[in-house]
Amino acid sequence: MFKSIRWKFIIIYFLLVFMAMIIIGVFLMQQFEQYHLGVVSNNLSNLANTVITSLETIDWQNSPNEVENNIRNYEQMGTGITVIKNDTNFTIVFSTNESYMGENSEANASHFLESDLILAAFNGDVKEKDIVQGDNKLNSSKHMVFPIHDSNNRIAGAVYLKSNLEDIYKTLQESQAIILKATFLALFITIILGYFIAKSVTGPINDVTIKAERMAQGDFEQVVEIRSDDEIGQLAGMFNYLTAKLKAVLQEMGSEKKKMDTIIEYMADGLIASTKEGQIIHINSKAIEMLGINEEICATRDFNQLFTSDNGQFKIENFLEREKDWTGSKIISINNGPILQASYAPFMDQSGGVEGIIILLQDVTKHQKLENMRKEFVANVSHELKTPLTTIRSYTETLLDGAIDDRELSINFLQVVGSETERMARLVRDLLQLSDLDLQQSKWSKKAVDLKEIVEETISKLDVSAKNKQQRVSLSPENLEEGAAMIYADKDRIGQVILNLLSNSIKYTPEGGSINIDINTQGDTLILEIEDNGIGIPGEDLARIFERFYRVDKARARELGGTGLGLSIAKEIIEAHEGTIEIFSEEGVGTKTVIHLPIFVEVGDNV
């Protein structure tokens, strides 16, 4: 309770008023006491002067009765008057206190009165003294002594006055009681007023405290009522201003956080943030997908469980061992599936110390595959060129070594050299054509052409090859309406594609086989199908059939003169004509090639 500032205010007010009243009370009592004692002293002095004046008119030393008659005239309530003769016995001439006189009319004053005061008077001094009987001031009295001079100005005696102070101290006690009551009343009023004053001060502060606590719990709709223009009002106004600014800043931060969370969540790369203790702070959906982890692992928020399938390359302990070397990049493979490039870097706290690590995951599977294909492409080109070059070199060396003298052998060797040279020329020509297609530098001579006419011309070119293998090549429907197979294309390039596909069918179809070519329409698309009953393509090779230099049976394909680039070139040409090409095959059953090309529609024709 006393920790409250309200009670501290009340206690401070209470102590201030209490100390003030005590100081004022003590001061007043001392002043009252001094004042009343001073009045008594003045009264006694006046009385003594009057008594001494009256005694000077009589022979007071020898006429006790006259002394008594004079003193009785000046006797006052509560005041004792004693006349003392200046002799060796301090003889009392007369006293209003009969007990001092007793039976002996010349009693010794030193037995009843203060000797030091009497001696002072006999020395010519006026002296006073307050005498307290016991510890009770109600039994106190004031003693004053005045010297009496004779006609020769010698001290003949003294007037000893004694005044009872009981009434004065009773008055002082009553005054003290009044002041005490006033003090209690003032303290009571102080407590009441202090409570309301403290409440007026602490009320707004308490209101600010309560609303600040609500703000700490997340409720920023708090406004403090401004009740005054003083410091408390300024505090309330500043609190409201702070609340508004804090609310605006938090809204801005929340908006930025939402933006950042959205960016991180939907970015194409995976992102993982972890503390150096291994506690995952954030992981986006892409990272979960790339790593192939389940919800149970995500729920544990344990960094070390994310890369368990990667033989523990990434463990927080490994980074801790490196001390400050937390930056780098690694290629990792997850469960023999996607290939990921993991780039990692630390994030720091305000003092510059490492607080955790951030890992960015990028799927480089396609890049790696393209890199492997590039390496394979270079190897295949080198191999394809090396074989004929080796043959040409060996045959040339043999001719130079003397075989040229044998005409028949020389002709055979030169025919082989010419064949290999033609093979390299075809290879280089195909590579140049692929390069032009890749770089989109090919020059196209597109116009409206009849696909059926191109197919018929191609069949006539390969008629001899088909007849040599006793194969039957048929085109259906033969009665396709004139102009129904019109496409907008480069006739020579489309003819090259059909020639490549038809020659492949003839090459890989046994003697006596059949090749069927079908042309039909479907909506605004023209469909060309070439189907044979040849050796077919194994299922595991079918997905790579359009790759460059890829051969199902490499040895046999090389014997038949293929470069392994024909289907790649065919796919590039068809796609350049906004078409598609697909191959369906079953080993030992045959192969079917399907080409889709858009039908040519002249401007102004009704579709």
* CATH 1.10.287.130 residue window(s) in the chain: 371-438
- Tell me how far apart the alpha carbons of residues 213 and 582 are, in angstroms, rounded to a whole number: 70
Please report, rounded to a whole number, the percentage of residues in the chain having pLDDT higher than 70.
Answer: 87
Crossing angle of the two packed helices 5-55 and 64-74, in degrees rounded to 10: 140
Q: Beta 514-522 vs 472-476: how paired, if at all?
A: parallel
557 pLDDT above the threshold of 50: no
Q: Is 483:595 a contact under the CB 8 Å cutoff? A: no
* CATH 3.30.565.10 residue window(s) in the chain: 446-598
Q: Is 204:224 a contact under the CB 8 Å cutoff? A: yes
Q: What superfamily in CATH does domain 267-363 come from? A: PAS domain (3.30.450.20)
b/e per residue 480-496 (b: at least 16 CB within 10 A): beeeebbbbbbbebbbb
Weakest mean pLDDT among 260-274, 317-331, 459-473, 590-604: 317-331
pLDDT tens profile 215-254? 777 777 778 777 777 777 787 888 888 888 888 888 888 8
Residue 538: cis peptide before it, omega within 30 degrees of 0: no
Specify which residues 92 forms β-bridges with.
84
**CB-CB neighbours of 505 under 10 Å:** 27
**What's residue 607's pLDDT?**
38
Average pLDDT over residues 179-190: 88
**Which two three-digit tokens encode residue 282?**
């954030």
**What's residue 597's pLDDT?**
92
pLDDT tens profile 345-388? 888 777 777 788 888 888 887 777 777 767 766 776 776 677 77
Supply the CATH classification number for the domain 371-438: 1.10.287.130
pLDDT tens profile 294-307? 766 667 777 777 77
Q: How far is CA 510 from the centre of its chain?
A: 75
**What's residue 606's pLDDT?**
43
Alpha helices in 448-565 (DSSP H): 451-461, 463-468, 491-507, 539-542, 554-559
CATH assignment of 446-598, among 3.30.390.10, 3.40.605.10, 3.30.565.10, 3.40.640.10: 3.30.565.10
C-alpha neighbours within 13 Å on the C-beta side of residue 349: 7
Q: What is the dihedral of CA 312, 314, 316, 321, to 10 degrees?
A: 90
311 pLDDT above the threshold of 70: no
Q: Which CATH class is domain 5-173?
A: alpha beta
**What's residue 308's pLDDT?**
63
Give the total residue count for the chain. 607
**What's residue 592's pLDDT?**
92
Count of helix runs (H) and strand runs (E) in the chain: 17, 17
Residue 1: band (very low, low, confident or very high) from pLDDT cuts 50, 70, 90: low
* CATH 3.30.450.20 residue window(s) in the chain: 5-173, 267-363
**What's residue 336's pLDDT?**
65
Please report, rounded to a whole number, the percentage of residues in the chain having pLDDT higher than 90.
Answer: 5
Weakest mean pLDDT among 166-175, 245-254, 255-264, 367-376: 367-376
**What's residue 556's pLDDT?**
46
pLDDT tens profile 403-436? 777 777 788 878 878 877 877 777 777 777 767 7
Q: Beta 155-164 vs 580-586: how paired, if at all?
A: unpaired
Q: What is the pTM of this model?
A: 0.44
Look at residues 120, 102, 126 and name the one whose alpha carbon lies nearest to residue 112.
Answer: 102
Cα Rg, the chain, nearest whole Å: 66
pLDDT tens profile 448-477? 998 888 888 888 888 888 888 899 988 887
**What's residue 242's pLDDT?**
83
**CB-CB neighbours of 234 under 10 Å:** 12
Residue with tokens 């997905």: 543
Residues contacting residue 17 through CB under 8 Å, at least 6 positions apart: 186, 187, 190
Q: Is 239:211 a contact under the CB 8 Å cutoff? A: yes
**What's residue 605's pLDDT?**
47
- Tell me how far apart the alpha carbons of residues 264 and 269 are, in angstroms, rounded to a whole number: 8
Q: Is 456:477 a contact under the CB 8 Å cutoff? A: no
φ, ψ for residue 239, nearest 5 deg: -65, -45
- Tell me how far apart the alpha carbons of residues 490 and 492 are, in angstroms, rounded to a whole number: 6
